[in-house]
């Protein structure tokens, strides 16, 4: 009897030792696996950051400036196609511009922001951007790209970001890579749809260019206004300052 | 070195994972239909981040991936075995890595901070630390067959 108990005791002891050894072995393997996973995770994060940093801007292929500034300027303002502001705003300011035009870029950065931050944000004025392509062959695809962004509610982000990263007139910078980088920076969510829409909107660019010619405009940016005190669309030409535009808005109200 | 009891670690993981589900769900719901979460103190960072191209991956809102991650972490908190310990660590590691990258993107690419995204990143960092402690402290430990380390609601009576 005593021998049998001792044999059972030894067996239990052996099983305990084996179980502990198994646990220790399992622990070592798990910790090695965890260390490997942690190393892999560090490598992946570093590679992602390096790739992202070298692509510049907001995920595009070109360095983009002013993304935060544009987002802050347009934050909280409704956008539908290329119309910025409350659709029910009583006064509509229409801008005919060319994305390659440096004067338009100056207006986008200096003349229009005070209006956008005040009257447009308050719902008193809405601004409609229409293409009037006069600079060169890349103006039409650039304008169509903005309209395609507008179809996803990011038209004004596209315009403003394009202007803030504009290159020299007809220097060839506004290629497909640049247009796509601006789309990404502007927050266009469905890039495949944006790409498909671009070609479709070229006809619309030509249509509004013809409209600008009909209105006797001969440079960009040119403005027109419509409000309770105007009979239809009243042309303004190129008002030289924010003050001049404010005066026109006041007269049209 | 002494570690907190595994049951306490599991409770903490469950608590922070539940908070994470709440935060990620709020972000996902707020962004559905083109909206954005509301930033405290009237900031515009949340809207800027929500409307950036980084807010979606393959057409899916990033917050949805967050919800999935937090749900997996919550699930691992209810089991006391090596699969749950390692699974929790792996998911939290992935989430922590994503949080680092997304925080980098917010600061240096979008140049805007979304408070809700920061809250999620902090929760994921805490969950990573808890799961790493759990794995290091209890990897290879016997499965809690008797349930003494299982996270269970207290029985009444």
- Judgement on whether residues A45 and A93 belong to the same structural domain of the protein: no
- Residue A158 and residue B105: Cα distance in Å, rounded? 20
Yes or no: say if A64 and A182 are a contact pair by the CB < 8 Å rule.
yes
Average pLDDT over residues A78-102: 93
Read off the CATH number of the domain in which B24 is found: 1.20.1440.130
* Residues A95, A218 within the same domain: yes
For position A55, what pLDDT does the model report?
62
Q: Is residue A180 part of a domain?
A: yes
Average pLDDT over every residue of B54-61: 78
Q: How many domains does chain B have?
A: 1
Q: ipTM beyond 0.95?
A: no
A234: CATH: 3.40.30.10
Give the domain range for residue A8.
1-55
| Whether residue A171 is found in the same domain as residue A240 | yes
pLDDT at B154 > cutoff 60 = no
Same domain for A122 and A29:
no
Confidence of residue B155 (pLDDT cuts 50, 70, 90): very low
Nearest to A188 among B53, B93, B94 (CB): B53
Percent of chain B with pLDDT over 90: 49
Q: Is residue B72 part of a domain?
A: yes
Least confident of A188-197, B47-56, B116-125: B47-56
Among candidates A30, A45, A57 on the partner chain, residue whose Cβ is nearest the Cβ of B86: A30
Report pLDDT digits (tens) over A168-189. 888 888 899 999 999 988 888 8
Task: Tell me, yes or no, whether A102 and A220 share the same domain.
Answer: yes
Does A38 share its domain with A93? no
Are residues A117 and A74 in contact, defined by beta-carbon separation less than 8 angstroms?
no
For chain B, give the mean pLDDT: 84
* Higher pLDDT pick, B149 / A61: B149
Q: Min CA distance, A52 vs chain B (Å)?
A: 8
Q: Are A73 and A117 within one domain? A: yes
For residue A36, the chain B residue with the least C-alpha distance is B90
Q: Give residue A114's Cα distance to chain centre.
A: 21
- The number of CA neighbours under 13 Å toward the Cβ of A250 is 6
Handedness of CA A242, A179, A92, A86 (dihedral sign): negative
The domain in which residue B70 lies consists of: 6-138
Residue in A27, A38, A53 closest to B140 by CB = A27
Residue A106 parent element (H or E): helix A102-106
Candidates B47, B100, B136; nearest CB to A75: B47
Strands A125-131 and A91-97: parallel
- A164 inside domain: yes
What pLDDT does residue A231 have? Answer: 87
Predicted pLDDT of residue B46: 82
Which residues in B lie closer than 8 A to residue A23 (C-beta atoms)?
140-142
**Does residue B87 register a pLDDT over 60?**
yes
Q: Which residue of A has its CA nearest to B96?
A: A41
Phi/psi at B61 (nearest 5 deg)? -60, 135
Same domain? A94 vs A7? no
Contacts A45 to B, Cβ<8 Å:
97, 100-101
Q: Which residues of A touch B90 (CB under 8 A)?
A: 34, 37
pLDDT at residue A213, rounded to an integer = 93
Pairwise CA distance, residues A95 & A117, whole Å: 17
pLDDT of A58 > 80? The answer is no
For A55, nearest residue in chain B (alpha carbons): B109
Q: What is the predicted pLDDT for the residue at B146?
A: 37
| A62 within domain boundaries | no
Rg (CA), chain B: 17
Give the total number of structural domains in chain A: 2
Are A51 and A94 part of one and the same domain?
no
- Model confidence at A160: pLDDT above 90: yes
B59 close contact with A: CB closer than 8 A:
yes
Which residues are CB-contacts of A178 (< 8 A; sequence separation ≥ 6)?
A: A61, A62, A165, A167
A31 close to B135: Cβ distance less than 8 angstroms: yes
Interchain proximity B54–A59, CB inside 8 Å:
yes
Asked if pLDDT for residue A13 goes beyond 90, the answer is: no
pLDDT exceeds 50 at position B90 = yes
What's the predicted TM-score (pTM) here? 0.57
Closest CA of chain B from A83, distance in Å: 17
Mean pLDDT of B65-83: 94
Same domain, A126 and A96: yes
- The whole-chain average pLDDT of chain A stands at 88
CA B86 to chain A, closest CA, distance in angstroms equals: 7
Same domain, A14 and A80: no
Residues A50 and A74 in one domain: no
> Looking at residues B67-85, what average pLDDT do you find?
94
> Is B157 inside any structural domain?
no
Is residue A97 within a helix (H) or strand (E), and if so which, with residue range? strand A91-97
Partner B, chain A 95-154, Cβ-Cβ below 8 Å: 153-154
Interchain CB contact of B135 with A (< 8 Å):
yes
Residue A37 lies in a domain: yes
Instruction: Please return the burial class of A4, using the count of CB atoms within 10 Å of its CB with bins 0-12, 13-18 and 19+.
Output: exposed
């Amino acid at each position: 009897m005593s021998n049998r108990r001792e044999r059972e005791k030894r067996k239990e002891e052996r099983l305990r030792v084996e179980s502990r050894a198994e646990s220790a072995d399992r622990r070592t393997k798990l910790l090695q696996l965890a260390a490997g996973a942690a190393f892999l995770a560090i490598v992946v994060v570093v590679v992602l950051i390096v790739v992202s940093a070298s692509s510049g801007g907001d995920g595009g292929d070109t360095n983009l400036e002013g993304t935060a500034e544009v987002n802050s300027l347009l934050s909280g303002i409704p956008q539908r196609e290329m119309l910025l502001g409350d659709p029910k705003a009583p006064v509509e300011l229409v801008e005919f511009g060319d994305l390659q035009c440096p004067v338009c870029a100056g207006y986008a950065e200096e003349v229009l922001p005070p209006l956008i931050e005040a009257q447009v944000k308050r719902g008193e004025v809405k601004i409609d951007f229409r293409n009037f392509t006069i600079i060169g062959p890349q103006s039409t695809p650039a304008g169509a790209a903005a309209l395609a962004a507008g179809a996803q509610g990011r038209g004004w982000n596209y315009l403003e970001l394009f202007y803030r990263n504009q290159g020299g007139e007809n220097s060839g910078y506004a290629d497909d890579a640049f247009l796509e980088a601006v789309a990404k920076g502007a927050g266009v969510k469905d890039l495949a749809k944006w790409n498909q829409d671009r070609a479709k909107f070229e006809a619309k660019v030509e249509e509004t260019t013809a409209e600008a010619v009909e209105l006797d405009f001969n440079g960009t940016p040119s403005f027109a206004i419509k409000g309770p005190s105007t009979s239809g669309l009243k042309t303004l030409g190129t008002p030289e300052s924010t003050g001049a535009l404010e005066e026109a808005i006041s007269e049209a109200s | 070195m002494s570690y907190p009891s595994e049951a306490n670690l599991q409770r903490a993981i469950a608590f922070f994972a539940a908070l994470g589900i709440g935060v990620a769900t709020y972000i996902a719901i707020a962004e559905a239909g083109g909206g954005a979460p509301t930033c405290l103190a009237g900031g515009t960072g949340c809207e800027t981040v929500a409307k950036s191209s980084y807010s979606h991956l393959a057409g899916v809102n990033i917050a949805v991936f967050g919800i999935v991650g937090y749900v997996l972490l919550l699930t691992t908190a209810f089991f006391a075995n090596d699969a749950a310990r390692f699974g929790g660590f792996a998911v939290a590691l992935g989430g922590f890595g994503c949080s680092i990258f997304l925080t980098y993107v917010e600061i240096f690419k979008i140049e805007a901070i979304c408070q809700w995204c920061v809250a999620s990143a902090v929760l994921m960092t805490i969950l990573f630390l808890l799961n790493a402690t759990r794995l290091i402290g209890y990897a290879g430990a016997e499965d809690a067959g008797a349930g003494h380390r299982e996270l269970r609601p207290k029985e009444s009576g």
